[in-house]
Amino acid sequence: MTRKSLFENTCSALSAIYPAKESRINALILLEAFWGWPAHTVFIDGTALVEADDAIRQRFEKAVAEMQAHRPLQYVLGKAWFGNREFLVDERVLIPRPETEELVRLVISENRTKSQKILDIGTGSGCIAVTLALELPDAAVTALDISPGALTVAHENAVALGATVEFRQGDILCENLLGEYDVIVSNPPYVCCSEREAMRPNVLGHEPATALFVPDGDPLLFFRRIAELGQQALRPGGHLYFEINERMGARVESLLHLQGYDRVRILKDIFDRERIVAAQWN
């Protein structure tokens, strides 16, 4: 079998689950991960024969079968890229998304000038907290999550990437925050349960539901609670940053004004969707 034929066979195997373009991208990523071929070599050296390494072939076929069963590529490989760093991921944590990278870039750009105490609520894989700790080395970063499993993954990522982060377990819906902070940032659950029908099986069947969904009757549950906690935990002039459901921008903005925040801003992502809200506590 040649490299090109293996690539085409993999695309065909994935095409029942993913659109054609996504199948091609996923196939190229799998080939590089398991066989060590950079994407361009599949086309430049497409006639090269695939070496008969049974162990690699078996692991590769298992990975393709897992993806055919709707397991996300990132969980199959056990890693995901966030910014320019590789993070460990599995079913205990959400897969990091590009819009969360935009949230983190905003926090970094607005908080470089002085030492800050930063709290990441609902840290998951730790991608927000770890990135902030590495990009803002003078900051003291704390990361909070309700899930012991998520905190284990986040701690492993901090160790692997050399970041200093304090991790805490806690349920913000029934506990108050300890300490004072200059910045609180959160990518909380914000997908309404009624939106499940529009979501892919690879998300619904594998990513942790507790990190995704909120009741239809109270879609601002976590935004409201975090804003309440910020009233006590943010220092005067402190900043609050959220990733939001793109349909909830105006409602989150109104909520923050009612809770005493000012300089409330709704920012759009690269796809022109309202995905970030920033505010200041005075």
Tens of pLDDT, residues 194-229: 998 888 898 989 999 999 999 999 999 999 999 999
What is the overall mean pLDDT for the chain?
95
Is pLDDT of 12 > 80?
yes
Which whole-number Å values give the CA distances from 277 to 38, 122, 158, 180, in the listed order?
A: 38, 16, 26, 21
Is pLDDT of 255 > 70?
yes
Distance CA 90, CA 76 (A): 8
Report pTM: 0.94
What would the mean pLDDT of 49-61 be, rounded to a whole number? 87
What would the mean pLDDT of 253-258 be, rounded to a whole number? 97
Distance CA 276, CA 268 (A): 7
Residue 231 is predicted with a pLDDT of 96
What would the mean pLDDT of 103-108 be, rounded to a whole number? 97
Q: Are 119 and 146 in contact (CB under 8 A)?
A: no
Residue 282 is predicted with a pLDDT of 85
Residue 261 is predicted with a pLDDT of 98
What would the mean pLDDT of 110-114 be, rounded to a whole number? 88
Tokens for 8?
A: 């085409």
Q: Are 134 and 162 in contact (CB under 8 A)?
A: yes
Counting residues of the chain whose pLDDT is more than 90, the rounded percentage is 87
Residue 120 is predicted with a pLDDT of 98
Is pLDDT of 32 > 80?
yes
Is pLDDT of 113 > 90?
no
**Exposure of 148 by Cβ count < 10 A (0-12 exposed, 13-18 middle, 19+ buried)?**
exposed
Which whole-number Å values give the CA distances from 199 to 47, 192, 206, 235, in the listed order?
A: 39, 11, 12, 39
Residue 49 is predicted with a pLDDT of 86
Tokens for 210?
A: 């507790």
Q: Which residue has the tokens 């080395």?
A: 137
* Four-residue CA torsion sign, 187, 189, 195, 197: positive
Residue 46 is predicted with a pLDDT of 83
Is pLDDT of 143 > 90?
yes
79-281 folds as: Rossmann fold (3.40.50)
What would the mean pLDDT of 244-255 be, rounded to a whole number? 96
Residue 79 is predicted with a pLDDT of 97
68-93 tens-digit pLDDT:
999 999 999 999 999 999 999 999 99
Number of alpha carbons in the 13 Å side-chain half-sphere of residue 38:
3
Residue 178 is predicted with a pLDDT of 87
Is pLDDT of 183 > 80?
yes
Residue 52 is predicted with a pLDDT of 66
Nearest C-alpha neighbor of 190 from the set 121, 140, 127, 137: 121
Tokens for 201?
A: 């099986």
Strands 234-243 and 274-281: antiparallel
| From 116-120, 171-175, 195-199, the region with the lowest mean pLDDT | 195-199
Provide the b/e sequence for 83-106 (b: ≥16 CB within 10 Å): bebebbbbebbbbbbebbbbbbeb
